[in-house]
Chains A and B, each alone.
Chain A
């Protein structure tokens, strides 16, 4: 079973919006890193939209940690929204939520910017 992964970058006001779809696992690394690079070609936050993501596993969390590490070294702010209640819990348990702001939805994320 392979649902694939896609990350498309757009802009909302000063921030970059990265819409993720499909499965976030080991295989999402390349796509997510490329999207991050594209998103950071301008200043502003990187907002990750998880509303199109149906599955995140530990290898996917590792990919997200990799991106957060990079953002941290570059002083880039990362935010996320559109997570299910379960993955919000997972992000809290793994402490990813300590290193990126988590919002309910796109409106809340944009309003916080």
Chain B
């Protein structure tokens, strides 16, 4: 007797075992002939339901012919829930008598008992296989996640005057997102964000390779376009077919805020400026697709307060419950809004979660890199303070009376005397301080002696900053334009109006800030010429 077991999942007949129930010498093992799905015999067995002698059957069936050749006499179908789970094949009776009605009914009864048990066994086996597969996938994902987490930056760069933040959350099936910060010479910082097509271990391995290539190329070339072109050349022969990497590489000169970037097919970066959000577009093919690619470069000067947001498509291609995509317009709209505590990462992740809805499964990795140039020198100084490299040289106040700017000038000069500013820079700083304090006395505090003008002198390794505060509130400070001396000399313009203009010309940077009725002007003088 042979037993045929069919796998439900594969729908392919599979011979599980051929058994001889006893070892009588005349017992012969019958080859278990598979019954292909859709074979006429299958249809017959299902419709008949009970044991069938095949001798009298006339069917267009390969299986039937094979069975006859194998010496099968009687087929007992094993049917569960309308499905042919298997069959018992019996050869001729040892007595050479045909199978009796009793025999058939016995076999039919046996089959009806066996079939449900087989069904259960089959289900158990399938579940075990599925569990094993799940475990394998899970292990693979764990490996992928491990590779990724090992290679993503452990710490964020800490740069005076800048705030860098990053967010990475893998999808359940880990994708190939990555980001990196590469410290470069001369206070420049390389910023990378990328996405490898595909998921799991293959994507993680390509990501690891690509990251290493980028790090090496970043030290070889000063231009982001060259870095990407170089990595592309190296990656093309290494990368598995049909895989590629989108990648954006930016170099920021953190001293002056200049940003140069090249883009290999990645999401465009957004920058929130005082004039709204701009896209920094630079074209280029993804890495690893084809050799000899060149990449555009885009330059942008990040002003104080500007925020650059780099994203992966896990954000823009996330869907809500109605199947709508998060999309670039919404992202741009959110970047435009300054978060109350300046936490752009939290604001964007929060908005995305609000969009996809609670408990929604994340479709793809989500990666965010936010680079902000800190708005005010005070805030910048606070970052410095964390670094422990800033020193408050003096803090004093003068009554708001005409002429008192000269007290402030003397005190500032004394405070900075140890810094070794050259004569010209010291004199310019003194003039700027004098003009700023004059403005604070006259315009900010309106010559009310009882309201003091506060002055603070702070030095860092690179610059000295003098902060002058009055109680002038939110009064706007006009832009320092070049006064028209011709008009003044012709009597068409008041001879006054030199103060703001002079201040702007005297120091390396002037920043103004109004908060809670206090108006502050910060004068930044670099400690050395040309070092900004």
Interface residues of A (CB under 8 A from B): 1-3, 25-26, 55, 57-59, 61-63, 65-66, 68-69, 72-73, 84-86, 89-90, 93-96, 98-99
Contacts and interface: CB of A to CB of B under 8 A. Distances in A.
Given A63-B495, A69-B495, A90-B431, 20 more contacts: A1-B403, A1-B407, A2-B403, A26-B402, A55-B434, A57-B431, A57-B434, A57-B438, A58-B438, A58-B499, A61-B498, A65-B489, A68-B489, A69-B490, A86-B423, A94-B498, A94-B501, A96-B485, A98-B485, A99-B489
| Secondary structure dominating the interface of A | helix
B488 interface: yes
Interface of B: 402-407, 423-424, 427-428, 431, 434-435, 438, 483, 485, 488-491, 494-499, 501-502, 505
A95 B502 CA distance: 11
A85 B427 CA distance: 9
A86 B428 CA distance: 7
Nearest to A60: B498
A93 B499 CA distance: 12
Contacts of A3: 406
A65 B485 contact: yes
12 contacts: A1-B406, A2-B403, A26-B402, A57-B405, A57-B431, A59-B438, A62-B495, A62-B498, A69-B491, A72-B489, A89-B424, A94-B501
Contacts of A72: 489-490
A26 B48 CA distance: 118
A93 B482 CA distance: 9
A101 to B, nearest CB: 15
A59 B402 CA distance: 11
Given A1-B407, A90-B502, A57 B491 contact: no
Contacts of A66: 495
Given A62-B495, A66-B495, A85-B424, A94 B485 contact: yes
A84 B431 CA distance: 13
Nearest to A94: B498
Contact of B495 (A2, A65, A73, A99): A65
- Which of A63, A73, A90 is packed against the most chain B CB atoms within 10 Å? A90
B423 to A, nearest CB: 7
B485 A62 contact: no
Given A1-B406, A62-B496, A93 B505 contact: yes
Nearest to A63: B495
Nearest to B438: A57
A14 B485 CA distance: 29
A58 B502 contact: yes
A24 B505 CA distance: 20
Contact of A99 (B438, B485, B491, B499): B485
Given A57-B434, A59-B496, A99-B489, A93 B406 contact: no
Contacts of B496: 58-59, 62
Contacts of A89: 424, 428
